[in-house]
Amino acid sequence: MSITYGYARVSTERQNLDRQLVAMRDFGVQEGNTFLDKFSGKDFQRPSYQRLLKKLKPGDTLVIKSIDRLGRDYREILEQWRIITKERQAAIVVLDIPLLDTRQKERDLTGTFIADLVLQILSYVAQTEREAIRWRQAEGIAAAKARGVKFGRPPMERPELFYELREAWKLNLISARKAAGQLGVDHTTFLLWVKSENNPC
DSSP string, the chain: ---EEEEEEESSTTS--HHHHHHHHHHT--GGGEEEEES-TT-S--HHHHHHHHH--TT-EEEESSGGGG-SSHHHHHHHHHIIIIIS--EEEETTSTT-B---BTTBTHHHHHHHHHHHHHHHHHHHHHHHHHHHHHHHHHHHHHTTPPP-SPPPPPPHHHHHHHHHHHTTSS-HHHHHHHHTS-HHHHHHHHHHHHS--
Q: Is residue 28 part of a domain?
A: yes
Cβ 115 vs Cβ 108: under 8 Å: no
142 falls within a domain: yes
Point out the domain boundary residue: 80, 95, 110: 95
Last residue of a domain, one of 95, 110, 136: 95
User: What is the reported pLDDT for 97?
Assistant: 83
**Residue 109, in any domain of the structure:** no
Co-location of 13 and 90 in the same domain: yes
Rounded to the nearest angstrom, the gap between the alpha carbon of residue 157 and the centroid of all alpha carbons in its chain is 17
Is there a single domain that holds both residue 90 and residue 50?
A: yes
Residue 43 has pLDDT above 60, yes or no: no
CATH number of domain containing 89 = 3.40.50.1390
Q: Does the residue 106 lie in any domain?
A: no
Average pLDDT, the chain: 82
Is 66 annotated in the active site?
A: no
> Among residues 11, 40, 175, 196, which one is catalytic?
11
Out of 95, 113, 133, a domain closes at: 95
**pTM of this prediction?**
0.60
Give mean pLDDT, residues 106-135.
70
Q: Do 79 and 129 share a domain, yes or no? A: no
Tell me: do 47 and 87 sit in the same domain. Answer: yes
Domain encompassing residue 54: 4-95
Structural domain count of the chain: 2
- On whether residue 12 sits in a domain, the answer given is yes
Q: Are residues 79 and 131 in the same domain?
A: no
Q: How confident is the model over 161-165, as a mean pLDDT?
A: 88
147 and 85: one domain? no
